[in-house]
A = this chain, B = another copy of it.
Amino acid sequence: MNDVRRRPGRRPGSADTRGEILTAARRVFAEKGFDKATVRGIAREAKVDPALVHHYFETKEGMFAAAMQLPITPDEVVPLLLEGPREEIGERLVRMILGVTARPETREPMIALMRSALTNEQAAAMFREFITNALLFQVADRLGVPHLRIEAAFGQMYGVVMGRYVIKLEPLASADPEELVQLLAPTIQRYFTA
């Protein structure tokens, strides 16, 4: 999602400008939450031009994902979920989450964010705003699904990921992904359709 082309007549910033912007972004997101943080405010904190922030990160969502080292951004996830038959969205969602959490390198940053939200009120506010406004409500509103129903679906997948990878409940922790898809997809589908 990073646009690294050099634009004519513009200094692209020092070698670690991108890193400095991300450090500033983490500070601003933690302090203001996701909703109130702005590209302009993050640029000010990083002492760079807002245009330079846009040069590296297309959207606030993309910047948040990069700052938290999330493997995927809502800009990528939402279209994937909405693409394809409506009656298979439960299965698509379960497959996507099990896929992203299967590999440690993509799972760990997500778990770190989920865990921090449970131990720290500031992190909870940041996570809450990001997960609802940037992700859940984007999907729900495009499909006309009530917010409470998509949060029930979120609860199911959140609990399964925590049970599988953090609490490590057996047989859940070593269950075959395909068996989990068969078990969980109808639950998620029901929240999206009933």
| Chain A interface (Cβ < 8 Å from any Cβ of B) | 115, 117-119, 124, 127-128, 131-132, 147-149, 151-152, 154-160, 162-163, 166-172, 175, 179, 183-184, 186-187, 190-191, 194
Q: Is the CB of B169 within 8 A of A132?
A: yes
Inter-subunit contact B156/A155 (CB<8 Å): yes
Chain B nearest CB, measured from A97 CB (Å)? 12
In the complex, the answer to whether B166 meets A160 with C-beta atoms within 8 Å is no
The 5 closest A-B pairs by CB, nearest first: A155-B159, A159-B159, A158-B159, A155-B160, A151-B172
B115 touches A166 (CB 8 A): no
Oligomeric state, in copies = 2
Contact B118 A148 (CB under 8 A): no
Q: Are A127 and B167 interface neighbours, CB within 8 A?
A: yes
- The reply to whether A147 and B128 form a contact with Cβ atoms under 8 Å apart is no
Q: Can you show 29 pairs from A to B with CB atoms below 8 A apart? A: A117-B166, A117-B167, A118-B162, A118-B166, A124-B168, A127-B167, A128-B168, A128-B169, A132-B170, A148-B175, A149-B183, A151-B169, A152-B156, A152-B160, A152-B172, A152-B183, A154-B163, A155-B158, A155-B172, A156-B156, A156-B159, A157-B159, A158-B158, A158-B159, A158-B162, A159-B159, A159-B162, A186-B190, A187-B190
